[in-house]
Amino acid sequence: MSASGVRRASAAIAVLAAAGLALLAIPLEHGTTDASAPVQVTAPVVAPPPPPPPAVPLAPQQIAERVIPTIVTITTRSAFGATAGTGIVLRPTDSAAVVLTNHHVIDGGLEISAKSMRDGTPYPAEVLGYDNSRDLAVLRLPGAAALPPAVLGSSQTARVGDPVTAIGNAEGGGVPQSAPGAVTKLGVTVLTRNSADGSRNELAGLIEVNADVRPGDSGGPLVNAFGEVIGVSSAGNAVERDTPSAPAPQSYAIPIDSAMGVVDQILAGRTSDSVHIGPTPQLGVSVRDHIDAQAGTPSGAQVVLVSVRSPAEGLGLLRGDVIVEFDGAAIRTAADLTLRMIARHPGDRVDVRWVDAAGAQRMGSMVLTEGPPR
């Protein structure tokens, strides 16, 4: 099959943010790069070792044949609807496959499932951990240990002008599609926007390519001419096909070397300021920075929404209340609260101090429940 033929066939705290560069999962919806945002450039069971790279670059069909069996489609159902993305199969562990994808693909997921791109076999998906600041998540697919792992290369070998191919679940149709292109920049920093909830995130050190990466390709592999994974597709400027005056394709991938550092940390169970391990704890509020009227600076996390039957509702938190302390730590911004939740787990008991609408100080204790990944 030709390259063109392949293309055709082929926690629980929401911090309100303004819109910025969007992401490439497709809410079964997708995102695009924000042209107004500045782009900065800065200089278990062990799988057998991958085979050595071929002596010569592969043809487009050979790349597809090498990569497609090692990826899965991912479908996430959330309160916002359904989102489709792609995942890269890594080494197996016990009777399951380990899969790498983007955090925004599984963000808010009440139900997450996967299908083999090789034969369409469905698998349930469990979230092992994630780093939303780097837009990465690691899943476990029980019963999928036989899925072949992707051949990983090194993003450090990438050079401007190198031919690359992005392969994934473009447009969320469940059919593997290939997007050839070339590396155009290295070490790029972009501002991304999640098209589901409008939240923004800055991603640094990315690989910029001119491949036509489409909505639904999020979390899929960017491979070199030998079919080795050098990046994880994450964001881009894709617009509807046949749009008049559409911009030239411009997409961004997270280097596989840095991505695997996060994977190793998650598999080792090491929580950090940005990496959460295991099920997501739920407080049950959406918050934003509360600005002190006199000082003009943030002075807490103001509640803008309280979920029904959540720990926050049970504690008595109301819209307009300002959380100023969480489990003994001062809270000055909404981000402070998010950071404190990263190391928490469902079942943890925490103390919360807040200021109500009348200006009175209040305090209470709650047990966090399990919620969707955030």
Other Cβ atoms less than 10 A from the Cβ of 338: the count is: 18
Strand ranges in 195-250 using DSSP code E only, listed in sequence order: 200-209, 221-223, 229-236
Other Cβ atoms less than 10 A from the Cβ of 293: the count is: 7
Cα–Cα distance for residue pair 341/326, rounded to 1 Å: 9
**Residue 104 is a catalytic residue:** yes
Residues 259-282, buried b or exposed e (16+ Cβ, 10 A)? bbebbebbbeeebeeebbbbbbbb
**Residue 365 is a catalytic residue:** no
**Residue 34 is a catalytic residue:** no
Q: What radius of gyration, in Å, describes the C-alpha atoms of the chain?
A: 21
Phi, psi (rounded to 5 degrees) for 33: -70, 150
Q: Which residues contact 184 (CB under 8 A, 6 or more apart)?
A: 160, 208, 209, 210, 250
Catalytic residue among 30, 103, 104, 290: 104
Catalytic residue among 135, 212, 217, 289: 135
Q: Which of 198, 186, 136 is nearest to 159 (CA)?
A: 186
Catalytic residue among 116, 155, 195, 218: 218
Residue corresponding to tokens 């955030």: 374
Q: Which residues are catalytic?
A: 104, 135, 218
